[in-house]
Structure 1
Amino acid sequence: MKTVRLTLQHDAETVHPMHRFVADHDAFEDYRMVHGNFSGADEHAFIFHVVGDPDVYETALSEFGGVESYDLTRTGDRSFSVYVRDVPDDVGNQLIETFSGGSLVPLPPLEYRSDWSVRFSVVGEPEDLKRALAQIPDGIEPTVDGVGEYDGSDAVTGALTARQREALRVGRDLGYFDVPRSASVEDVAAELDCAPGTAAEHLRKAAATVMDELEL
């Protein structure tokens, strides 16, 4: 089974209004769909985690005509979760049908980014993955960020390269992440059989990727 890491770049005609609102408003820092129910043809349910101003978000959501109902739960001073029952537009329905048909399973979270792009992973048979890429609606530009064998890892580890996962595993096993630290980057490099600078780069990029994927 293959897994593909994708970025879908929306234009002004295809970006969802709430995605556009959050992306274009300086009150928000992070916007992700963490769960979704795609079984209904006319209505879907989603859970989003958001970092930003909940009052600004709730005002916009209540004014958006495509939402049947919602429930907003504050989880911190500037973080909240939103359960939304949404009536998808034509583009939304096309994307849902494209990436949940046949053998395909989209892996949350779906990251809604400030440049109107959405980043996520999808698992399935190679032919279904090829079909999905060919059926992406007009106005959405796909970029394949990575392709590999699905090994059961979650979305966080799935976003790492094999070498980055190895660097994190070695660092953990040696004590590089202990407090106080009981292994150096030179120790990690020796175990990875690479230069200390290379090991440091693997660790830095891996840590940045993990932090980017975590729901905080």
Structure 2
Amino acid sequence: MRLLTLRLDLADHALHPMHAFVAADDRYGPTRLLQWNETGDGTNLMVFRVAGPREPYLDRIEAVDGVRSVSVASTAEGPISGGFFLFVEDEIGPIQRDIVDAHAAESVVVVPPVVFRTDRAATITFVGPTDDLSRIVDRLPPAVGVEVRRVTSGDAPLTRPVDRLTERQREALATAWAVGYYEEPRAATVADVADELDRAPGTVAEHLRKAESRLVAHAVGRG
């Protein structure tokens, strides 16, 4: 068993309108497809994590052909990692159908999240037998450019170290990075990070310590 991570570069006509919208607006970060379920009537039920403001996104998606319903599942507010979780029922387009069919015929599983990047590409990870993974690349449609980003053995972890951090820990790390806390020499203090987050310095320091501990443990083989 192996893990295969692909970068998919989609032709303009193959790009979903909401992916194009996010890529063109610097208020948004990558959109993550966290879970999905294909129904029997040609639609997907999906849960996304959208990194950016809610109202412009909702105004745009409600006008997209093929989107049958949209609702906000919950918010994830914060000055750096703010965003929201979105529940969407969307019709499966021909390119999306070709991508699904490329791996549906093989004995593989998609490992969430599927990441829709702001450079208009997407990254997707599969786990399965080597031969089945190889056939996926051959089956993808011509409108999809494919780059193999990573191939690892089956004993590799299915999640990245950052995926094991809590939302507050990731938010603290992102804010600390943005204000210069990790620059050399250091350009900000824990108090500066706390001011950005509007939280107590002690609380922010605890989030940073726990996040750093998990990441360092992974780096030295103890994660």
TM-score (norm 1): 0.70
* Aligned residue number for residue 74 of structure 1: 75
Q: Aligned partners of 2:159, 2:112: CA distance in 1, in Å?
A: 7
TM-score (norm 2): 0.68
Q: Is the 8 A contact 1:32 1:112 kept in 2?
A: yes
Q: Aligned partners of 1:35, 1:109: CA distance in 2, in Å?
A: 7
Aligned length: 170
Q: Structure 1: where are the runs of 5+ without partners?
A: 160-176, 189-201, 204-216
Q: Aligned partners of 2:55, 2:87: CA distance in 1, in Å?
A: 15
Distance 1:11 1:104, change over 3 A: same
Q: Structure 2: where are the runs of 5+ without partners?
A: 164-207
- Offset at 1:157? 4.8
- Offset at 1:68? 1.3
| Match 1:91 to one of 87, 92, 95 | 95
- Offset at 1:152? 6.5
Aligned letter for 2:121?
S
- Offset at 1:37? 1.2
> Secondary structure of 1:8's partner?
strand
Aligned letter for 1:59?
D
CA displacement, residues 154-186 of structure 1 (integer Å, 9 cap, x when unaligned): 331599xxxxxxxxxxxxxxxxx968x99xx9x
> Secondary structure of 1:108's partner?
strand
Q: Percent identity?
A: 25
Q: Aligned partners of 1:157, 1:69: CA distance in 2, in Å?
A: 34
* Aligned residue number for residue 38 of structure 2: 38
Distance 1:99 1:40, change over 3 A: farther
| Match 1:156 to one of 153, 160, 175 | 160
* Aligned residue number for residue 124 of structure 1: 128
Distance 1:18 1:58, change over 3 A: same
